[in-house]
Amino acid sequence: MILKSGRRDFLLTSAASALATTAAAAEPEEIRTAHIGVGVRGGSLLRQSFSQQNVRIGAICDIDSTTRDQALTAAGRDNPKSLTEWRQILDMKDVDAVFIGTPCDLHAEMAAACLDAGKHVYCEKPLGITPEQVDRVVKAARRAKGVFQIGQQLRYYPSMREAIRKIHEGQELGKAYIIKAQRHSSRSRPSATTSQTTQQKVRTDWYADVRRSGDLIVENSVHNIDACNWIANSRPVSAYGHGKKYFPQPIPPGTLMVDGYSVEYIYENDMHLDYSQIAFHPRHLKQLPNGMWYVIYGEKGSIYLTHDSAEFYDVHGETSPRDMLVESKKIVADRKQKGIKEPDTAIEDFFACVREKRRPFADITVAATAALTAIMGREAIYKRRMVTWKELGVNL
């Protein structure tokens, strides 16, 4: 069951940052962190953690010496320990919380072990790339006393929170029926002069290897699919899809990462989702916009939603499109005025949850449901048949 996003959840978007900006507030307790994997995404998590009030970086772990050294320099203020073996963190008494920003196939093992060691855990998405991996972390999180938060940061975009809360309230849309969503991008011509650094090549290699990334729908679209689950306020019971790697020559799915697919999901509450991801959508095809968006069709009209906007269109077309966002615009403007660059409040809220001993909005149920929904879609594409939630075998 997916929890509804009420006004209290929306207001929590700015609660963590309020701690740092209220002059009269007592200084929050110190949280000591360790970071496993500090490449592109892991490095961003490190920088965001470093900027938080009373957070100290205790250890940095990465098997790539160049990446690790860059992170150690960035966190030089705290003089963190330099590690190449992540398991050393499990026994470190001076580490309270662990950030996991490694390749996808490593998330589950690391997250479960850190939870069992009594650490709070912030794990990048996806939770796992197989049902067995997802189940492992679900069971560890249920045993653990610490906080677990997944890196489904769209749930921490103020605009998404306000828009989806209003969808659930139904005052403008009425009952929601259908979701159509996409994550489309354009294809560039290969360049013979383009060269990669060693670090870039390593990332490209694991990302393209479906045995490590889980394929495009699991590694990449798990963000958008999670947003659709959130909009539907339910979880799917079945999926049917089709796709393959089309360029440079079409090959069946399951070996190299696909570059185009569509999946149809049917939800427990009888809503359905039509989702696609295409990596060769022409930039100048204006009739169908490129990029990431969601259209929610409902009883009174439809909502066109992006990650920073939401417009309502009445079902009869008798009124002009109406901007749905009010509160979130104030939050975003306030963050920009304070020089905060990140569009989401995920890291701020993680530390607030640790200090306040409360469950994150993007908790283990959100994490598992998102990963399993993406995995179900992938298996439907691979097997060329309908795949059901029950087949996955994970009890939420």
Q: Cα(367)–Cα(111) distance, rounded to whole angstroms?
A: 12
* Residue 10 token pair: 């929306």
The answer to whether the Cα torsion of 266, 222, 169, 9 is positive or negative is: positive
What pLDDT, on the 0 to 100 scale, is given for residue 339? Answer: 87
- CA 227, 146, 15 angle in degrees (round to 5)? 55
Domain boundaries, the chain: 7-154, 157-335+365-392
CATH homologous superfamily of 157-335+365-392 equals Dihydrodipicolinate Reductase; domain 2 (3.30.360.10)
DSSP secondary structure string for all residues of 3-53? PP--HHHHHGGGHHHHHHH-TTSPPPPPEEEEEE--SHHHHHHHHHHHTST
What pLDDT, on the 0 to 100 scale, is given for residue 9? Answer: 56
Amino acid at 320: S
What pLDDT, on the 0 to 100 scale, is given for residue 23? Answer: 36
Q: Cα(310)–Cα(302) distance, rounded to whole angstroms?
A: 10
Number of CB atoms found within 10 A of residue 18's CB: 12
Q: Cα(14)–Cα(119) distance, rounded to whole angstroms?
A: 25
> Considering the entire predicted model, what is its pTM?
0.92
- Residue pair 301/173 in contact by the 8 Å Cβ criterion: yes
Task: Report residues of the chain scoring pLDDT below 70.
Answer: 1-25, 192-194, 199
Q: How far is CA 251 from the centre of its chain?
A: 28
DSSP assignment letter at 245: B
Looking at domain 7-154, its CATH architecture is 3-Layer(aba) Sandwich (3.40)
Task: Give the three-class secondary structure for 80.
Answer: coil
Q: Cα(97)–Cα(93) distance, rounded to whole angstroms?
A: 11
Phi then psi dihedrals of residue 124, to 5 deg: -65, 155
Q: Cα(154)–Cα(343) distance, rounded to whole angstroms?
A: 9
Phi then psi dihedrals of residue 143, to 5 deg: -80, -30
The pLDDT tens digits for 209-257 are: 999 999 999 999 999 999 999 999 999 999 999 999 999 999 999 999 9
Task: Give the three-class secondary structure for 88.
Answer: helix
